[in-house]
Structure 1
Amino acid sequence: MAGLGVCLALAAAVTGGSVDPAPGPVVFVPTTHFTLAWTHSIEKVRWEEDYAVAPGQRPGEAPVLQALTARVRGSAAGMEPPEDAVLRKGWYEYTPRMWSPHGLRLTRSAYTADYEWCVSGHCEPLGRWLPSDGGITLLTACEQSATRD
């Protein structure tokens, strides 16, 4: 049985919307729940988004990424929380409008702190799993059997 998780790939390794096995690595991270966190490079405001990885709705369908909750530590120019956000202990909390994104395109730069990958309250830089090439990293729900070694 294949395990659920997240596949990370550099955009340079992707063609036509699917992972191309030739150009670069695809890293599988086994998980069904995680938090993606970052600090805005100019406003220095922390943002956190909680996700789940769920099996596809029908046999043979790819797993899906589900946005559960999000929070932002304050408000700043261009980072206003949505109107339905609730302020709790200094965090604006809300449910993302796009509940099941196809995947996430993470812009990573040598000039800013990396995204943080958090599980059970323990956070580490995303670079622990896949170093940045200074461009886009794609994050998608996947099964371990769908990746290569």
Structure 2
Amino acid sequence: MLALASPTFQLSWTHSVEHVEWQEEWRVSGSTLTLDTARIRGSGAGMEPGDKAVLKDGWWEWPGALSVPSLVLAASGATGGGWTICTDGTCSQIGTASGAPLIIAPCSGDAIPEPAATGKTSG
């Protein structure tokens, strides 16, 4: 389990086929996660820039338009890098080994949940 104290975080990864970096800026909004911004360094198979995308410093960047109760991330171990989650200048690698999917969801209340065997990531 990885608990994040900040209500905002960046999630990034390298696309397994195109080998292009993808980044997303998320924030906790009550019981949901809201995507504020997404960006990619290129385009290709399933990686087209979103609506209203602009090219900024080599990245296609566009405003997010998504709110979800949680994110479910595959942990195949086949892509080599897994996922990087950053908040307040600190980054952690997650999902680098094959295993259960990783779940990112807002914590309920002030208590940090007990570690679960499902690979749940809370923040």
- TM-score w.r.t. length of structure 1: 0.66
Q: Distance in 1 between matches of 2:2 and 2:87?
A: 17
Of Structure 1 and Structure 2, the greater helix share is in 1
What are the ranges of 5 or more consecutive residues in structure 1 without an aligned counterpart? 1-25, 57-62
Could you say which residue in structure 2 is the equivalent of 1:39? 14
Instruction: State the AA in 1 paired with 2:105.
Output: T
Note the alpha carbon deviations across 1:77-120, whole angstroms, 9 max, x for none: 2211123211111101011221x211101011111111001124
Give the number of the structure whose alpha-carbon radius of gyration is greater. Answer: 1
- TM-score w.r.t. length of structure 2: 0.78
Kindly tell me the number of residue pairs found equivalent between the two proteins: 113
Instruction: State the AA in 1 paired with 2:56.
Output: R
Among 107, 110, 121, the alignment partner of 2:74 is 107
Instruction: State the AA in 2 paired with 1:75.
Output: S
- Corresponding position: 1:136 with 2:98: no
What are the ranges of 5 or more consecutive residues in structure 2 without an aligned counterpart? 116-123
Deviation at 1:134, TM superposition (A): 2.3
Instruction: State the AA in 1 paired with 2:106.
Output: A
RMSD of Structure 2 on Structure 1 (CA):
2.2
Q: Distance in 1 between matches of 2:98 and 2:77?
A: 9
Structure of higher RCO (CA pairs closer than 8 Å, 6+ residues apart): 1
Once the two structures are aligned, what percentage of the paired residues are identical? 36
Among 92, 97, 119, the alignment partner of 2:65 is 97
Note the alpha carbon deviations across 1:11-70, whole angstroms, 9 max, x for none: xxxxxxxxxxxxxxx54332211100000011001000001123x3xxxxxx32121111
